[in-house]
Chains A and B, each alone.
Chain A
Amino acid sequence: MFKHPLLRFFSSLKLAVVLILSLAFVLAIGTGLESVYGTRAVKAFVYGTPWFAGLLFLLAVSLTTAALSRYPWKRHQTGFVCTHIGIIVLIIGAFFTSHYGVDGNLPVREGTYGTEVILNELVLTIENNERREMEIMIPEAPREKTGNLQEIKFDGATLTMDRFLPRVSVEREVQESPVAGVGAPAIQVTLANSRFKVTEWLVQKDASVPAEINLGPAVMSFEAARDEGSFLKGGGKRAPEKDPGTIVLTRNGKSHRARIVDALKGWMKMGDGLTLKAEKYFAYASVEKNQLVSKSDEPLNPAVTLLVRDASGNEEKHTIFALYPEFATMHKSHQSSATQVLGVSLKMVAKNARRANARGSLRFASVGDKLLFSTSTESSGYASNGVVKVGTSIPTGWMDLQFNVEKWIPQAVEARVPRYVDKVAGSDAGFVAAAHFKFRAPGRPEEEFWLYEGSEHVLPFTKNVVSAVLHRRTLGLPFQIQLDKFTIHHDPGTEKAAGYESQVTVRGEPGNQSARISMNEPLQYGGYTFYQASYQLQEGEAPISVFSVNFDPGRMVKYAGSLFLCLGILLMFYMNPHYWNVLLGAQRLSQKPFVGRGEPK
């Protein structure tokens, strides 16, 4: 036992209990914060802070003094000493990792190579094209921060960061141009029905090419037209097909046709001794209450029921669908036998038929001081056009969709604005940090601007080109990782990834090396380990594979610590002669509770 009061304090069990409980408490709070504000916030707020490191350090001191205070150790204390050494070694290993290790991400697009590892620290780099580069650490915060957060002075100018948003999604905002004669025409259109609602901006940046957005059920476009006539001619305006179509009857390889409108009037001779009569026509056939009915006059699912009779008087009743020829159905003939006796096959051809979910197009054009619209669907000829009144809903003519031009700005500019997300759903991945700055330079008006992770802003200086960039710190690798091929396997019948892997070529000093990196099968090269972490897919672009890059000098230390720790606990609890007696059945403990051993006083 130590004599010195300070050592006695540090080696005391009571301090240990207090430290353990406070660590548990801090960690519990940390996970709570993480669930609300995301992983980056809690790293900045708890795990990466000096006070947290201090708490771990105190714990290490307490463990060390506690182990030393019981020196010289007795045999039964082996477990206790071993455990404590294990934890101390673990903490030392963690220190090595956090101070000398590298933990970052390396996104590489297929067909290209990557060499810059993105680390976690957020920095502001001010680049001067001639002389120097300044890198300023931007401390992260779990939530929005305002006030005079950073003040950077250079070349007589002052850059002040007065707002920090840890998680934003960057959104496009279309505003009226502050300068006359600058900007492009823009409209904001809402497309909605009872189940679907979407609002989008169409900005016509280039007068010769219409701005176009693909929205699933519709394609919207906005163009500049010389006059009304040329705009309407450009649209696929067609007169809707009115004729319900024809019935094609085939027997013994020979086909006979009958127009439905004629067949509805009465029996028609079809050749081959057959006659045919259409009983009823359904434009939009649907089964309700076990009856075939027509839901509307829109030819969305045309069908016809008809009777076919041969020379000897055999009669069959059929129902045929224009869109679903394979569903041709034969019902009971008058002889009440459900078997085909006539051997005919029937088909319905309806040019006016269209499926209910056909896509439509919605076009807009500005002609002088008028805004025109034209809507049409692909398969039907339905179309309408007219002059748009801003703020009024107009039916498009398909899927019960209505459109509404909410805003029309003849001269608009686009701006990027941050939308702050305070609470996240599980993960903060995909959100970026944003900071707002004020810039003052002698002889220039004050300027304000936003910077987003990865974005750059050129500062107005006369002499030099100076730019400010907000980004995550990067680390250049002494070699390149080239992504040759990225493959994803899916779970049967789903879009869910079952596994993914990257075929890479490492291009470095000793020569090129091919390797495959997949989940649980990392690549080790040049002291670094590359893990398959995630991927990003975007339609029409080569996939990006994201590797987690790791350099950990504390790894072996931590493994050693772990080993000691586990061994220690095992020894402490179970290297007890009495315990073995119990297992060997020499003694029943319930009759005679044993004297605890291996417990420090």
Chain B
Amino acid sequence: MKSLLLSLIVFSGVSQAATDRSQFSWGAMEKLAIQERGRVKPLQTFAEESVQFVTGSRSFNHLKAIETVFSWLLEYEDQWEKTEFVRVSYGPLKVKLGLPQDKKYFSPQSIRSNEALRAMMREIGAKQQRREKLEDMESKLVNLQAQVGVVDAIVSGQALTIFPSPQGLEANWIGLDGLSDPSRLPYSGPQKEKTEALLKMLFKAFVGGDAATWNANVGQFTDWVRSDLSRGHYPSDAEMGREVHFNELRPFRWAWVIYVVAFIALLVAIQTKNVWATRIGAGILGAGILLHIYGFVLRCWISGRPPVTNMYESVIWVSLGCLVFSIFIWAAYRNIVIPTAASVFSIVALVLADNLPTVLDPGIQPLEPVLRSNFWLTTHVLCITLSYAAFALSLCIGNVVIGNYIFHPKKTAWIQTLSLYMYRAMQIGVILVAGGTILGGVWADYSWGRFWGWDPKEVWALIVLLMYVAVLHGRFAGWLKGFGFVSATIFCFLSVLMAWYGVNFVLGVGLHSYGFGSGGLSYVMMYVAAQVAFVLAGYISHRKSGVASGQIFPSGR
């Protein structure tokens, strides 16, 4: 739909060819507040989330997200409607819609006019009304429709809810489309006129590529909204600035980059047994952890709560926990292999979090009612997720053990030492998952009225506990020794994956529905296959070596 805002700048007499806006300053506009998805956030966050959702990248065509959003708003018909920029990555969907397989991007026009899509959407609508399960293809289609919907909502100005309500942050803010409906804008005549005049000037400057006018007036507009339109109901500049800083810093991306460097340095150190290489590697790793913690604290500060809501936050938290536990165990045993192994998990987790925004949504969202302001809730979630971190650490060390079974099957003492570290990590995990599950029961009792309700998330936490306990008892019973114990521990992590990822993304049922999502199953299956193959290789090598499986505690009973 063509925006009527455009009539503000109709006949500006400037050519509409791609305009160079490299001289534009975006800072003030990025810190402008917008109320969206139940939260007041900087326009920059909104722009990045929207552009990411539609195009799959925060900086489509190397433009700043905010510039893309303004361009959608003001130059849509000429520059975007027929331009291929809506990302469709799911192959079967392209087949179904008759779109060329080799293309990544499609124009909104071609999506809108797709007959197959329309027919399917009608069917999906009926299905949703009956609350039936959607097929994978159907939910991808709903997603594609939503991508075009995001663009439409920006083009019409409806999504750009930047006009603060004088009734406060909780009341509905008004979108740019409110300009064409005076009954919706709660501002006085002169206020409205000035708003319009400023916007008109900025829009003209944007379309005309007039950096001087834009830069000179953008601050005036944002100050005007902040000081005059809001009547005091507006987030502070510092708050918005903090979030913009967080978005620009991308601490979790830098954290994994640093972890990769640290990992390489530590590998060299382990190979060469060089003390200085070890110190440098450990130093880099420490720097990464500090950055990780900084980003984490910043995020908590921005969202005003601990990270308990979605998969993305738990991935960030667990990858940090894994490294922190590795430091604990390293402190006891002074073996640099432990944090080195842990960094692998953290790298993989953070790389996934950084690159799969459709699966792991990095957006900060408001909490579900049941999750608000509750001590037990926070405690039990953090406790359970920390147990995942400890189990992840035991998985990492376990894989180092398997690696040794493959490459150095005769180094029995070394294998036993490593197995002991793995056992220690697992112990931390067991106590945390047991405690966390019980705390979860206390919380459920407190807010839902029952201690245990066979909810899938709690059931899977219990399954995790049972699996590890079974392995522990299997060892006591003498069924699992050396190699068997290590590989069983590794396979137990699959139950952690199910409890952590599977319940929300595969089962998708239950009261813990606030964390639901979809996608990523193929990655998980690939990992599982690789893990099975690796353990199998270890088993074959172990059998060939003819070394009997020893106890982890070599001199033990």
Question: Taking beta carbons and an 8 Å cutoff, which residues of A are in contact with B?
Answer: 12-14, 16-17, 20-21, 23-24, 27-28, 30-32, 34-35, 38-39, 42-43, 47, 93-94, 97, 103, 169, 194-197, 286-290, 292, 319, 321, 324, 326-327, 329, 331-332, 419, 421, 423-427, 430, 489-494, 496-500, 519-520, 522, 529, 531, 533, 548-550, 552, 555, 558-559, 562, 565-566, 569-570, 573, 582-583, 588-590, 593-596, 599-601
In the bound complex, residues from chain B placing their C-beta under 8 Å from that of A319 are: 7, 10-11
The 3 closest A-B pairs by CB, nearest first: A491-B38, A13-B477, A35-B507
Asked if A519 and B463 make an inter-chain contact with CB atoms under 8 angstroms apart, the answer reads: no
Judged by a CB distance under 8 angstroms, whether B543 is at the interface is no
Q: How far is the CA of A559 from the CA of B169 in the complex (A)?
A: 42
Q: How far is the CA of A489 from the CA of B38 in the complex (A)?
A: 12
Judged by a CB distance under 8 angstroms, whether B356 is at the interface is no
Judged by a CB distance under 8 angstroms, whether B236 is at the interface is no
Q: What's the least CB distance linking A463 to chain B, in Å?
A: 43
Asked if A590 and B4 make an inter-chain contact with CB atoms under 8 angstroms apart, the answer reads: no
Asked if A424 and B37 make an inter-chain contact with CB atoms under 8 angstroms apart, the answer reads: no
In the bound complex, residues from chain B placing their C-beta under 8 Å from that of A38 are: 509
Q: How far is the CA of A21 from the CA of B431 in the complex (A)?
A: 19
With contact pairs A42-B454, A319-B7, A493-B173 given, residues A34 and B507 touching in the complex (Cβ less than 8 Å): yes
Please tell me which one of the listed residues A97, A492, A497 contacts residue B35 in the complex, with CB atoms under 8 A apart. A492
Q: How far is the CA of A21 from the CA of B471 in the complex (A)?
A: 9
Asked if B553 and A326 make an inter-chain contact with CB atoms under 8 angstroms apart, the answer reads: no
Question: Taking beta carbons and an 8 Å cutoff, which residues of B are in contact with A?
Answer: 2, 4, 6-8, 10-11, 13, 16, 35-40, 77-78, 118, 121-122, 130-134, 161, 169-173, 179-180, 182, 196, 332-335, 366, 369-370, 372-374, 416-417, 420, 427, 430-431, 434-435, 438, 441-442, 445-452, 454, 456, 459-460, 462-463, 466-467, 469-470, 473-474, 476-477, 479, 495, 498, 503, 506-510, 513, 516, 552-557
Q: What's the least CB distance linking B164 to chain A, in Å?
A: 11
Asked if B449 and A529 make an inter-chain contact with CB atoms under 8 angstroms apart, the answer reads: yes
Please tell me which one of the listed residues B7, B16, B121, B369 contacts residue A519 in the complex, with CB atoms under 8 A apart. B369
Asked if B8 and A17 make an inter-chain contact with CB atoms under 8 angstroms apart, the answer reads: no
Asked if A290 and B10 make an inter-chain contact with CB atoms under 8 angstroms apart, the answer reads: yes
Asked if B553 and A570 make an inter-chain contact with CB atoms under 8 angstroms apart, the answer reads: no
Asked if A13 and B476 make an inter-chain contact with CB atoms under 8 angstroms apart, the answer reads: yes
With contact pairs A17-B474, A20-B473, A558-B451 given, residues A593 and B170 touching in the complex (Cβ less than 8 Å): no
- 7 A-B pairs with CB atoms under 8 Å apart are A21-B466, A34-B456, A288-B77, A419-B130, A492-B35, A520-B373, A522-B449
Asked if B10 and A520 make an inter-chain contact with CB atoms under 8 angstroms apart, the answer reads: no
Residue in B37, B77, B451, B462 with the greatest tally of chain A CB atoms within 10 Å: B451
Asked if A593 and B554 make an inter-chain contact with CB atoms under 8 angstroms apart, the answer reads: yes
Please tell me which one of the listed residues B474, B508, B556 contacts residue A35 in the complex, with CB atoms under 8 A apart. B508
In the bound complex, residues from chain A placing their C-beta under 8 Å from that of B182 are: 326
In the bound complex, residues from chain B placing their C-beta under 8 Å from that of A13 are: 473, 476-477
Q: What's the least CB distance linking B553 to chain A, in Å?
A: 4
Asked if A20 and B466 make an inter-chain contact with CB atoms under 8 angstroms apart, the answer reads: yes
In the bound complex, residues from chain B placing their C-beta under 8 Å from that of A559 are: 442
Q: How far is the CA of A332 from the CA of B10 in the complex (A)?
A: 11
Please tell me which one of the listed residues A103, A194, A520, A593 contacts residue B555 in the complex, with CB atoms under 8 A apart. A593
Q: What's the least CB distance linking B374 to chain A, in Å?
A: 5
Asked if B132 and A425 make an inter-chain contact with CB atoms under 8 angstroms apart, the answer reads: yes
Q: What's the least CB distance linking B34 to chain A, in Å?
A: 10
Residue in B335, B434, B446 with the greatest tally of chain A CB atoms within 10 Å: B434
Q: What's the least CB distance linking B5 to chain A, in Å?
A: 9
Residue on B nearest A23 in the bound complex, by CB: B466
Q: What's the least CB distance linking B525 to chain A, in Å?
A: 16
In the bound complex, residues from chain A placing their C-beta under 8 Å from that of B467 are: 21, 24
Residue on A nearest B498 in the bound complex, by CB: A28
With contact pairs A500-B369, A519-B369, A522-B449 given, residues A14 and B555 touching in the complex (Cβ less than 8 Å): no
Q: What's the least CB distance linking A494 to chain B, in Å?
A: 5
Please tell me which one of the listed residues A27, A326, A490, A590 contacts residue B180 in the complex, with CB atoms under 8 A apart. A326
Q: What's the least CB distance linking A553 to chain B, in Å?
A: 12
Asked if A30 and B459 make an inter-chain contact with CB atoms under 8 angstroms apart, the answer reads: yes
Q: How far is the CA of A28 from the CA of B492 in the complex (A)?
A: 13
Q: How far is the CA of A437 from the CA of B223 in the complex (A)?
A: 72
Please tell me which one of the listed residues A47, A287, A493 contacts residue B454 in the complex, with CB atoms under 8 A apart. A47
Please tell me which one of the listed residues B8, B456, B554 contacts residue A31 in the complex, with CB atoms under 8 A apart. B456
Q: What's the least CB distance linking B498 to chain A, in Å?
A: 8
In the bound complex, residues from chain B placing their C-beta under 8 Å from that of A12 are: 477
In the bound complex, residues from chain A placing their C-beta under 8 Å from that of B449 are: 103, 522, 529, 531, 533, 548-550
Q: How far is the CA of A188 from the CA of B123 in the complex (A)?
A: 19
Asked if A24 and B466 make an inter-chain contact with CB atoms under 8 angstroms apart, the answer reads: yes
Q: How far is the CA of A519 from the CA of B446 in the complex (A)?
A: 10
Q: What's the least CB distance linking B129 to chain A, in Å?
A: 10
Q: What's the least CB distance linking B378 to chain A, in Å?
A: 12
Q: How far is the CA of A522 from the CA of B130 in the complex (A)?
A: 33
Asked if A555 and B451 make an inter-chain contact with CB atoms under 8 angstroms apart, the answer reads: yes
In the bound complex, residues from chain B placing their C-beta under 8 Å from that of A569 are: 430-431, 434-435
Asked if A287 and B6 make an inter-chain contact with CB atoms under 8 angstroms apart, the answer reads: yes
Please tell me which one of the listed residues A103, A519, A583 contacts residue B370 in the complex, with CB atoms under 8 A apart. A519
Q: How far is the CA of A308 from the CA of B451 in the complex (A)?
A: 78
With contact pairs A20-B469, A324-B7 given, residues A590 and B335 touching in the complex (Cβ less than 8 Å): yes
Asked if B179 and A326 make an inter-chain contact with CB atoms under 8 angstroms apart, the answer reads: yes
Asked if B332 and A589 make an inter-chain contact with CB atoms under 8 angstroms apart, the answer reads: yes
Asked if A31 and B438 make an inter-chain contact with CB atoms under 8 angstroms apart, the answer reads: no
Residue on A nearest B38 in the bound complex, by CB: A491
Residue on B nearest A321 in the bound complex, by CB: B7
Asked if A20 and B470 make an inter-chain contact with CB atoms under 8 angstroms apart, the answer reads: yes
In the bound complex, residues from chain A placing their C-beta under 8 Å from that of B430 are: 569, 573
Asked if B463 and A27 make an inter-chain contact with CB atoms under 8 angstroms apart, the answer reads: yes
Q: How far is the CA of A28 from the CA of B7 in the complex (A)?
A: 60
In the bound complex, residues from chain B placing their C-beta under 8 Å from that of A419 are: 130
Residue on B nearest A430 in the bound complex, by CB: B131
Please tell me which one of the listed residues B118, B130, B374, B554 contacts residue A520 in the complex, with CB atoms under 8 A apart. B374
Residue on A nearest B460 in the bound complex, by CB: A31
Q: What's the least CB distance linking A53 to chain B, in Å?
A: 13
Asked if B473 and A16 make an inter-chain contact with CB atoms under 8 angstroms apart, the answer reads: yes
Asked if A562 and B441 make an inter-chain contact with CB atoms under 8 angstroms apart, the answer reads: yes
Q: What's the least CB distance linking B439 to chain A, in Å?
A: 9
Asked if A498 and B38 make an inter-chain contact with CB atoms under 8 angstroms apart, the answer reads: yes
Q: How far is the CA of A414 from the CA of B180 in the complex (A)?
A: 47
Q: How far is the CA of A327 from the CA of B7 in the complex (A)?
A: 7
Q: What's the least CB distance linking A464 to chain B, in Å?
A: 40
Residue in B10, B170, B462 with the greatest tally of chain A CB atoms within 10 Å: B10
Please tell me which one of the listed residues A16, A31, A93, A533 contacts residue B507 in the complex, with CB atoms under 8 A apart. A31
Asked if A552 and B8 make an inter-chain contact with CB atoms under 8 angstroms apart, the answer reads: no
Asked if B479 and A14 make an inter-chain contact with CB atoms under 8 angstroms apart, the answer reads: yes
Q: What's the least CB distance linking B441 to chain A, in Å?
A: 7
Q: How far is the CA of A331 from the CA of B507 in the complex (A)?
A: 60
Q: How far is the CA of A600 from the CA of B473 in the complex (A)?
A: 10
Q: What's the least CB distance linking B554 to chain A, in Å?
A: 6
Q: What's the least CB distance linking B272 to chain A, in Å?
A: 19
In the bound complex, residues from chain A placing their C-beta under 8 Å from that of B557 are: 595-596, 599, 601
Residue in A24, A423, A494 with the greatest tally of chain B CB atoms within 10 Å: A24
In the bound complex, residues from chain B placing their C-beta under 8 Å from that of A601 are: 557
In the bound complex, residues from chain B placing their C-beta under 8 Å from that of A427 are: 131, 509, 513
Q: How far is the CA of A552 from the CA of B449 in the complex (A)?
A: 9
Please tell me which one of the listed residues B133, B452, B469 contacts residue A424 in the complex, with CB atoms under 8 A apart. B133
